[in-house]
Amino acid sequence: MKTAANRAVKPISLTPFLIEEQRDKHHINADLRLLIEVVARNLKPGKLRLMYEANPMAFIVEQAGGMATDGLMRILDIVPTSLHQRVPVFLGSKNEIERVTQYHHAAAQD
């Protein structure tokens, strides 16, 4: 008999997961699901321009209880130095982004 601990976890993409969380488990509402999908769809790999991409997304993610950093510091604490400034962006759940930030702090000390 397989227990939950040794059962293989089937990968699932973001949209079906969010739909299940909304419809079947009632953990999130429709507006939050749509917001997460829109943000996820519009993420660009690499760096984002700070003033009109990274800051707005960081604000939304933090309002939902998540976290957004450039790997070392909170996105919303970065003082812009130019209009088209680009910064690395890591955003998501607070626990995961704290872990990523710790990795970057450790790497910066080496």
Extents of the domains making up the chain: 13-42, 45-110
pLDDT at site 82: 92
- What CA–CA distance (Å, rounded) separates 105 from 110? 9
Q: What integer is the mean pLDDT of 10-15? A: 73
Residue 1, pLDDT above cutoff 60: no
Contact residues for 29 (Cβ-Cβ < 8 A; gap 6+): 22
With a cut of 60, say whether residue 46 has pLDDT above it: no
CATH fold of 45-110: D-Maltodextrin-Binding Protein; domain 2 (3.40.190)
| Band of pLDDT at residue 44, cut at 50, 70 and 90 | low
What is the DSSP track for 4-32?
TTTSPPPP--HHHHHHIIIIIS--S-HHH
pLDDT of residue 45: 53
Q: Regarding predicted confidence, which is higher, 62 or 39? A: 62
Q: Which residue has the higher pLDDT, 22 or 70?
A: 70
- Residue 6 pLDDT > 60, yes or no? no
The average confidence (pLDDT) of the chain is 81
The encoded tokens of residue 72 equal 């070392």
Out of 15-19, 46-50, 82-86, 92-96, pick the least confident: 46-50
Beta-carbon neighbour count of residue 108 at 10 Å? 9
> What pTM was estimated for this model as a whole?
0.60
